[in-house]
Amino acid sequence: MFSDDSSIENFKELFLDIRKYIELQKDYTKLEITEKLTKIFSTLIMVVILIALGTLALFYSLFALAYLLAPAVGGLAASFGIIVLILLVICIIITIFRKELIIHPVVNYLANIFLNSSNNKK
């Protein structure tokens, strides 16, 4: 049944085609992983830069607010105390709602990158 030379050649070609297909799939997977990691790292860098700039803006804004509140509350110490209390309340709120504010958005973003990127290309 398999003694025919054309059958053997067909099997050899089939084997070579399968091997080439596997190599191409491996290369495609490497490219997809590289693309996804690039998206994640670029987003991470952007977030770090925005957090640094936002922190600086918040710092100077709070100093300005403290100096604006000083005459109304009786001094700089009291205005800085009010700002510290406001920041502590904000930190407590962020801690309480950390799943909704931080964890869920990060998980959704990563899931979107890893699970839906092939659907977006179609």
- Say how many CA atoms lie within 13 Å of 75 toward its Cβ: 3
Percent of the chain topping pLDDT 70: 92
Q: pLDDT-derived band of residue 52, with 50, 70 and 90 as boundaries? A: very high
| DSSP code, position 117 | H
122 pLDDT more than 60: no
Helices (H) and strands (E) in the chain, counts: 4, 0
Q: What is the pTM of this model?
A: 0.69
| Per-residue pLDDT tens over the stretch 12-51 | 899 999 999 999 999 999 999 999 999 999 999 999 999 9
